[in-house]
Structure 1
Amino acid sequence: MTSLIKRDLFGGAITVNTPPNLVDASDLRQVPDTQEVFLYPDSGISIIVEILEKVDASNFDAAIRFHFNSLAHDNSAVSAVVETVTVIPNDRGDSTPSAIVLSGLQGVPKFNRPTPDEVHILMALYRLEHKNVDLVVTFNVPTASSDGGAVSAEGLDIARSHFDALIRSLHIVDFGLFV
């Protein structure tokens, strides 16, 4: 696996481990203050870390499915299938909540093309109940794309390993970020 580096998000309030060669999208375009967005330089893979208002869901499974379906709506997806939902406990002893993790697939039409892109969605949800916040990490991994940004099965496996490393390393250093 590629060596990873520790990266500060939101001014250092959150730290994560990522590949060193990611492109910070804020260097290319405007990114909302509630998001950190990174791009892989050699594919169409993107990573979004987003601070959202906590959704009114009865349990963790329903909450992450809500965020997945909201993303499908925002992407104008013609299909959206959840493959798995699991919980990865935080056993480090810090106050960062455990991650609720979803793997899914969306068919996303691009630029009025007849065939939608196939995008694997890797999503993690950290619920900060006491702050009324859902912290959502999303990897968008195109595996079939008409614009050349798709990755192979091996590229998807690498993205999965990067996703796993990021979500397991995510550490909320300063809860004051969520005011």
Structure 2
Amino acid sequence: MRKNEYADYRSVIADSWNRCIAWGLEHDHEPTPLMPESARLEEINRQHSELLSVTEAEVLPYYRNVLSSSRCLILLADQHATVLNSWGDERITETRLKPWFQTGANWQEQNCGTNAIGTSIAVSAPVQIQRNEHFLKTNRSIIGSAAPIFDAHRQIAGVLSVFS
């Protein structure tokens, strides 16, 4: 990584931490996953059926080998950071974090602090959040990488992320 790239990367993390502070989050905050009711979750899935089917057909085949030989979890989230689906090894997370990797969990920075999905949406760019870069201490056991998926109008349609 070149010097300027590293500075830009550090700026992404610092800016996210500043947003977290502005929202009143504290490092010891332990958010509760706010799961949508089943009817709302069905509606979210209907709205994103094309994104889900394209991911299943076009993206996941490239990750099958990775998923079979490593302990990682792939998540697809919508443009609002709500998890649409997950694939892979669910044993990567501690029991207390499992609800965050389920369909319907929401990773917005306002609730979860600096994290791969929420921060990728906030900056409209790929990010990787290492353990201690998470704003909330509760998330510091995971490493997450995420990249936004843009639609034909250059709007974020979703986020593809990998957690280990």
Per the normalisation by structure 2, the TM-score is 0.33
Q: Greater strand share, 1 or 2?
A: 1
